[in-house]
Amino acid sequence: MILKQRKNTSGFTLVELMAVLLIIALIAGLAAKSFMGSTEKAKVVTTKATLSTLHGAVNMFKLDTGHYPSEEVGLIELIEQPMDLEDWAPGGYLEQTNIPRDAWKNEFVYIRNPESGKPFVIISYGADGQEGGEGYDRDIESTNLDGSDASETYTEDEY
């Protein structure tokens, strides 16, 4: 009787290794896509919270002084006392010593008497930092933090 010796091979074939690497790459791609979307959503939420804080601070300024900050000087009046005001809150109207920026590191825009008919609005121009836009580039206004607008339809994925 002739005995054949079999080589005891252990390990993976090249095809098996490639299949595993492909699966890992697909999972990593899906995770990265999910993470990036979550990051942008978090920036929108952070910006809305900051807008709400600034909006409240402007209203407190109005209650104390009898008028809103001027558009020329802007939000700086919340942290630096104007020379002509005596009823300004000691320490200012914000806990910070500077005016915060939106989550994309852009400055907020303060407008008195906007087209909406409100006394003022504070705006973030979104991810692109430019007026207008869609999705994460859309403007966020302190007077419309829920994103509702009769002229536009918002989807669940956009904020």
Residue 156 banded pLDDT, cuts 50, 70, 90: very low
pLDDT in tens, 120-132: 999 999 999 999 9
pTM value surpassing 0.75: no
In angstroms, the CA 23 to CA 6 distance is: 32
pLDDT in tens, 52-98: 999 999 999 999 999 999 999 999 999 999 888 888 888 899 998 99
Instruction: Give me the mean pLDDT over the 102-121 stretch.
Output: 94
Stretch among 34-38, 40-44, 106-110, 111-115 having the lowest mean pLDDT: 34-38
Give the model's pLDDT for residue 2.
Answer: 63
In angstroms, the CA 152 to CA 21 distance is: 44
Domain annotation for the chain: domains and CATH numbers = 43-154 (3.30.700.10)
b/e for 94-111, b at 16 or more Cβ within 10 A?
beeeebbebbbebebbbb
Number of other CB atoms surrounding residue 68 within 10 Å:
16
Question: Are the C-beta atoms of residues 79 and 92 closer than 8 Å to each other?
Answer: yes
Residue 1 banded pLDDT, cuts 50, 70, 90: low
pLDDT in tens, 4-57: 666 666 777 888 888 989 999 988 888 877 776 788 889 999 999 999 999 999
Question: Are the C-beta atoms of residues 121 and 142 closer than 8 Å to each other?
Answer: yes
Instruction: Give me the mean pLDDT over the 146-158 stretch.
Output: 48
